[in-house]
Structure 1
């Protein structure tokens, strides 16, 4: 514990415990206060989230085409620590694993029945539903992750700075990064991480409970079941966190990819394969064609159906990804040493986006096909039992549906463990002066707090409470991200020209 930053660790733990106490003693009051804050931020600052997320995307893409692309995230000549497949598996598992499973069927069907404009239910709405979904899970979120991870990896491995969010501000703040301003930046990162990850853990617990209740009529999908699942999985990911990065997270990340691909292959074989392929092609075309318009679309004159949709979906997602950014960015930076900036941006930005397009075309395509042409009643089940049952309602219509449900529950569980495991590492790192190997006691402390936060948010506001926490936590951290981008650019301009060729693994 001697490496613990007492001010950041102590203040963060005290504030987190006070929040947990508030939610435990008066959950209704917590839900009311946070709901009011969320409504204010969404209605008054929606434009800010849209501009920020799009600005981050433009910035990181522009870096690819500059001389900075050849710069190593490490010393010149240094080689990547992990092979590409393992690297991709680790960053992807940390990045958005639970969310992909939770929303894979549910989001396209929701946009199909409740689109930004019109009554929904048409073939045009079906096509647009996949485009909207990919928009929320494509370049924008991964650009946010790319920015923070790039800054952290560059300053940590090339400039030998501490692995702290505040350390990336040295070109702008100088020695003041070691004072109150720097500590405030790190504390904001801690809280964005806690609530961003708690949102995903809550989604995961709700979906596991939904899947278990589908398999067994005697187990209800209620709050008590969800809290029990959080407790069980907390023990599992704490064991994984105790084992360290190169054991627990590495092996479980590879297992995640294996299970995810197995689920995809299963649906491609038993589902409407040609329909999925056509939908994938159409979705990519529409996404690239309308990306600029979707990125900046908001209604300035009146509260319309589209305005409510944008606030409830796009702005929520951008806030969610921003709240996840310190966690995912720190983790991606940790496993990306030795790669060039160009290779890093292309890998982190393009590969997960392509996988997301395939994932939603298969999952969402199967759901849309079953609902539109098979009368599956998935939307009805979602309205009656909750969004979390969408995937399992689809499996009920397919051969070997029970086996697929079991695989999906295992996948959600392993994503749950790797996300929480990675978050305990990141929180430990941010509160131990950037240590790449935070002590087990620090990681276990944060493991308990983030699981407790997920439980409190579920108890006080359900899935809506989870979304509310993300939006609130993301707002102040957006300014931190903007500052990181400026600081990174200032430092890159001071670099000497890098070699034009750099062998990558």
Structure 2
């Protein structure tokens, strides 16, 4: 371990952030918010441009002749059936974020937009457009391009499945290559650790909110929050000491199954016609405004709109970038043998469609309650977002049962995510070793727990998102370099294939 500079640097860097957050939570929160505000103010255009051009690139790859390139040898075929593959993609796409924000995010957007427009109907429609934009194609294209890069170099070129590999392989000459590739690996590790820890903190808020709703406890009980965190740490540190990969997959599928059942339950038991109307309308609104939203930075809409855009859409773009190396490794490993075209169709469109339905159901139920009942759902979304999902579920029959299932799903998603993240961090920090030592996985598990604790102590999801953004912004500059390296290698391969065909 002490002979690995990347591992040592990554451990020290993330440990220092964790220590800072635990000893001076307010200081870290203030620093993150200030720095992120400055970065978003000056680089909003660049972040949106990178994210949107990645969407264009991924869709172009699927439609171009490169879509026939196989992620593996030419005679490789997929290890998993299409149904099993798509099921696992659902598991990767699902997570505690969807449970947390399913109703809370659309209602939060709705409040601000209604204040600006003064009309509930258009405000609800645009709130759904923004929510869908934040969670659908852009998120999955960012994941997809990272996964494509990892899978292509690992399975077609036989190189280590780490972020710096494309830079080392494609730009073989020049003294800048090795240090830049090393920095890319470090930034990927840092972004994963900070991003996962942030999701861990948000997940603890979600579980705590569910328990307080189920048992009528005090929502601000710090002792309960710490108890949830302690149980969660035990639940994910134990599996890191043994090989439970199959068990983790089963737990993830159970959590995904619970989430799917919850969505269908709300759709059937709730105001079905209103929800289906909303889903169809929101899909149309999303598609019709996709290009405009992709390049929108709201420079002339006033301070309120600009702050809202920075706090949500811009923050999400860097959040997906923070998670991209982590999700990319998982998606790459289950996609070996598929063509780039098959990969894009499955990885981008299927989870995106599921997200549209998910927010259409949960967000639609929230809007229906806000406009047709006396329930203060908007107030809850603004003041206690961690309670919004449970508050909405309580408006339907079997509220206690569905609330308990939501808590269980959130907990399982958290455990499987942290275990998987510790594995990926260990793999990246040991040069792509797909069987990293247990002690390295445990060290990363402890650091993820410490980072999660630091963010949890802020008690504010907005601050948590700022800390995630602070960890991910540097990686925004790496993604374009990876894309260029990937395209360069693809073109080199195509030229070699054409020369081979030209020979007698």
Query: Normalised by the shorter chain, which TM-score bucket?
Result: over 0.9
Aligned to 2:418: 420
1:320 aligned residue = 319
**In the alignment, does 2:276 pair up with 1:277?**
yes
For the residues of structure 1 that align with 2:411 and 2:277, how far apart are their CA atoms? Answer: 31
Work out the CA distance in 1 between the residues paired with 2:440 and 2:90. 25
Shift in CA distance, 299/131, structure 1 to aligned 2, threshold 3 Å = closer
Q: CA deviation at 1:254?
A: 1.6
Matched-pair contact (CA < 8 Å) for 2:21–2:28? yes
Q: Which residue of 2 aligns with 1:353?
A: 352
The residue that corresponds to 1:98 in the other structure is 96
Instruction: Work out whether 1:173 is the aligned partner of 2:171.
Output: yes
CA pair 399-28 structure 1, distance change in 2 beyond 3 A: same
> What is aligned with 1:300?
299
Residues in 2 aligned to 1:5 and 1:255: alpha-carbon distance in whole angstroms: 40
1:406 aligns with 2:366: no
* 243-252 or 102-111: bigger deviation: 243-252
Structure 1 residue 316 displacement after superposition:
0.8
Write the distance in 1 (CA, Å) between the matches of 2:40 and 2:164.
27
Give the gaps of 5 or more residues in structure 1.
Answer: 500-505
Per the alignment, in what secondary structure is the counterpart of residue 405 of structure 2?
A: helix
Looking at structure 2, the residues matched to 34 and 461 of structure 1 have their Cα atoms a distance apart, in angstroms, of 14
- Residue 93 of structure 1 and its aligned partner are, at CA, apart by 2.9
Deviates more, 1:50-59 or 1:413-422: 413-422
Matches within 5 A, 1:105-504: 105-115=103-113, 118=116, 122-174=120-172, 179-218=178-217, 220-244=219-243, 246-301=245-300, 303-384=302-383, 386-460=384-458, 462-496=460-494
Once residues 38 and 302 of structure 1 are traced to their aligned partners in structure 2, the CA distance between those partners, rounded to angstroms, is 20
The alignment of Structure 1 onto Structure 2 pairs a total of residues equal to 496
Once the two structures are superposed, what CA deviation does each residue of 1:300-332 show, in whole Å capped at 9, x if it has no partner?
347433222211111011111111111111221
C-alpha contact 2:195 2:319 (8 A) present in aligned 1: yes
RMSD: 2.1
Q: What secondary structure does 2:230 align onto?
A: helix
Give yes or no for contact 2:105–2:381 (8 Å, CA) kept in 1: no
**Shift, 1:447, TM fit:** 1.4
**In structure 2, distance between residues paired with 1:218 and 1:299:** 41
The residue aligned with 2:46 is 48
Partners of 2:22 and 2:450 within 8 A in 1: no
How far residue 96 of structure 1 moved from its aligned partner, in angstroms, is 4.7
TM-score (norm 1): 0.93
1:400 to partner: Cα distance:
0.5
Given candidates 64, 67, 92, the residue that maps to 2:65 is 67
Q: Distance in 1 between matches of 2:30 and 2:387?
A: 27
SS in 2 for 1:399: coil
Alpha-carbon deviation of 1:282?
0.7
Unaligned 5+ runs, structure 2: 499-504
Cα contact 1:198–1:450 (8 A) shared by 2? yes
Q: Give the C-alpha shift of residue 433 in structure 1.
A: 1.0
Distance 2:298 2:217 in 1: 47
Contact 2:380–2:388 (8 Å) recurs in 1: yes
The one-character-per-residue Cα deviations of 1:363-399 (angstroms, maximum 9, x if unpaired) are: 1111111121022211223344x11110111122111
Q: Secondary structure of 1:115's match?
A: helix
Q: Give, in whole Å, the separation in 2 of the partners of 1:66 and 1:383.
A: 45
- Closer, same or farther: CA 117–485 of 1 in aligned 2, 3 Å: farther
CA contact (8 A) 1:7 1:183 kept: no
Q: CA offset at residue 59 of structure 1? A: 0.3
TM-score scaled by length of structure 2: 0.93
Indicate conservation of the 8 Å contact 2:377/2:392, yes or no.
yes
Residue 62 of structure 1, CA deviation = 0.3
